[in-house]
């Protein structure tokens, strides 16, 4: 019943209403304030119950790999690898000995999103210099 989990517990809340009686009651002034308040409280309680159940059903895997490590569970910096008996270690690299082409390949492999950002930056810098140089 995973499909119905977000829609409440009782089918009667959605089906089987007396539409003719609802139309008649609209003419008579509908529900009084006490009934409306009670209905709002019941609806609010049902919403909270559904949200709590959905929260219980969530797992850290639902969020994928989160930056900073352990995800929703607040685990270690290894990104959950420690629980599987695996330790991830990052090695420091001396980039000063690399050529520009090697640095570009390394950047593409490590952070491909930065390549397009760097291209945008290079395209904008001349315009910024032209506008700010007179100052």
CA distances from 64 to 61, 72, 89, 113 (A): 5, 10, 20, 18
Tell me the mean pLDDT in the region 14-36.
Answer: 63
CA distances from 41 to 6, 27, 38, 51 (A): 18, 25, 5, 15
CB 5 within 8 A of CB 50: yes
Tokens, residue 128:
């910024």
pLDDT surpassing 70 at residue 123 = yes
Tell me the mean pLDDT in the region 14-20.
Answer: 61
Does the pTM surpass 0.75? The reply is no
CB 16 within 8 A of CB 9: no
Q: Looking at residue 22, what is its pLDDT?
A: 54
Q: Tens digits of per-residue pLDDT, 78-112?
A: 444 445 667 777 778 788 888 989 988 988 988 88
How many Cα atoms within 13 Å fall on the side-chain side of residue 10? 9
């Amino acid at each position: 019943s995973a499909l119905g989990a977000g829609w409440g517990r009782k089918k009667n809340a959605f089906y089987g209403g007396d539409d003719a009686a609802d139309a008649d009651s609209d003419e008579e002034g509908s529900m009084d304030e006490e009934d409306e308040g009670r209905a709002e409280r019941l609806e609010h309680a049902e919403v909270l119950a559904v949200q709590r159940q959905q929260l219980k059903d969530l797992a850290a895997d639902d969020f994928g790999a989160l930056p900073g490590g352990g995800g929703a569970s607040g685990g270690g910096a290894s990104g959950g690898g420690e629980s599987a008996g695996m330790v991830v270690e990052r090695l420091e690299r001396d980039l000063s000995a690399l050529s520009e082409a090697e640095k570009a390949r390394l950047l593409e492999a490590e952070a491909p999103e930065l390549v397009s950002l760097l291209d945008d930056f290079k395209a904008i810098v001349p315009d910024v210099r032209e506008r700010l140089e007179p100052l």
